Structure 1
């Protein structure tokens, strides 16, 4: 009979990876405390170290993307305001 694979949440993985990175407990202690396989600790720790830089890079990328998305909208608003003003002027002009 086969056993079902466990699926751990991202929060749990981050918690274990941070504990492994701190080095307060050995890998064996983490494995027995959290009842996980031996390879998981090192894999999650490596993912934490590799992905940490992306957390800080994504903040800059969001502001660039946000500016790129909003500038065409502001241009459209400007064009529509000019058109509206022109139409108001035309309506009020006598023939």
Structure 2
């Protein structure tokens, strides 16, 4: 089989990638939308957001943001005992379970 050789990125895209890298160092929390706005403002050229998104993906650049923490291991209340250990469960609806850790209590 014969495959064509990939042409690589254009010179204009390489310049954009350099700017994306510099802007990402200045503001690591900027995703493709904010990066797109920064680039349009700084270059004055028409650049598409999908193009910026693709270049960021090629470079491996991702926005840094705090992840949602639904549970805090060993938090203020500690670890609760497992009350079902040793219990003989032999019929339907004898034991029920729910996870409400995502609901704020205070």
TM-score, scaled to structure 1: 0.28
Query: Higher Cα Rg: structure 1 or 2?
Result: 1
Indicate the structure with greater helix content.
1
> Taking CA–CA contacts closer than 8 Å with sequence separation of 6 or more, which of the two structures ends up with the larger relative contact order?
2
